[in-house]
Amino acid sequence: MSDARGPLAGLLVADFSRILAGPYATMLLADLGAEVVKVEGPGGDDTRSWQPPVRDGISTYYLAVNRNKRSIALDLKDPEDLAAARELARRADVLLENFKPGGLARFGLDYDAVAAGNPRVIYASISGFGSGPKGAVLPGYDLIVQAISGLMSLTGDPDGEPFRAGISVFDVMAGLHATIGVLSALNARHESGRGQHVEVNLLSSALSGLVNQSSAYVAGGVVPLRMGNSHPSLFPYEPLPCSDGELIITAGNNGQFRKLTEVLGVPELAGDPRFDQNEKRTANRAALRPLLVERLRTRTRMEWFGDIIAAGVPCGPINTIDAGVAFAEDIGLDPVVTLGAIPTVRNPITFSETQPSYRLPPPELDEHGAELRRWLTDEERSA
């Protein structure tokens, strides 16, 4: 069906997922050359109606994670459509789904049923809380996982309310973990000749992704709490006010802190016994912060930005999304690719030999249904 190039060219992915985690994973696979068939119910992916904002009447949420795919609308309760879905699963190298655990079993599209006719299939399932008896019944929404995992308890001002992250961070993280799982299983298939079932759930992705914060409890017995924009183990590593707004400054080691004090004109702070080691700076942040702010307030954030960066100390302004995209463009990252009339954000991976490709704009519902149905009923291909 495709002349796609890339490291995954030649692979067929049956995408039975919807909303974010699954579609994000399959879009990444598609960008790398896989042929992805997006299977939608008659009403389409839920995110088609998640608007505003829109681009030419289409939800930008949907557009974010569905390029390089072909869409077929199948009603799994209809015998002919179900037969097409099963044939697609039989031919697929990868099947990815995020139904409730066990939800596809009644259609004969669960792992055991699909693997019986396609033992080489990599079957990836994304759920909210796993497939165990207690987790399987829980609804798997990112916001709920942000709450249950503890992320919201870490987000916001110390004396304020817990906050959600600005994106569905664990949906994205689970999509990345699912992609890693699929690629690992494909590599294992080269040796064994067999596929396998890959399972990812949002809560496990969340606890893994909380990294130092979950480790603080698991390894150290410490329950982290909200610290606003401050870091529990580093200082300075937060926004600091300049004359016209805040600048993020992250002096992550003693050398960077020394360079920062030199740029600010207070080199004596680097030799102060209260501040000469990271642990001391973190413990004495209440004394150090006003000394840094006193100097920073004498100039604008962009004036300081240029000088601090030039000195080799990481820092950056707090941008809105439009300024973030503009910054990426300015430094040559080329963040936007346009397919037809639809601008999308470039795949973040670059290769020296097998670059990602951008072939198809996000499809309309059932846009490729007719050609896919013909292909799925081709007797020669079915043999």
Q: Which residues are catalytic?
A: 171
Contacts of 38 (CB under 8 A, 6+ apart): 15, 23, 26, 45, 66, 69, 70, 71, 72, 363
Distance CA 94, CA 298 (A): 58
The residue behind tokens 């590599």 is 187
Cα dist from 142 to 166, 207, 378, whole Å: 11, 13, 40
Measure the CA–CA gap between 107 and 74, rounded to whole angstroms: 12
Q: Which of 247, 248, 272, 246 is nearest to 258 (CA)?
A: 272
Q: In 179-218, which positions are buried (b, 16+ CB within 10 angstroms) versus exposed (e)?
A: bebbbebbeebeeeeebbbbbbbbbbbbbebbeebbebee
- Measured at the CA of 314, the angle between CA 310 and CA 316, to 5 degrees, comes to 95
Q: Are 361 and 67 in contact (CB under 8 A)?
A: yes
**CA 70 – CA 56 distance, rounded (Å):** 20
Task: Tell me how far apart the alpha carbons of residues 126 and 45 are, in angstroms, rounded to a whole number.
Answer: 16
Residue 238: name the closest of 225, 226, 228 by CA: 228
Q: Strand 12-16 and strand 94-97: pairing?
A: parallel
Taking phi over 0 as left and psi of -120 to 50 as alpha, with beta for the rest, 159 belongs to alpha
> β-pairing, 12-16 with 35-40?
parallel
Residue whose structure tokens are 């600010």? 264
The residues, any chain, with a CB within 8 Å of residue 88's CB and separated by 6 or more, are 14, 37, 39, 372, 376
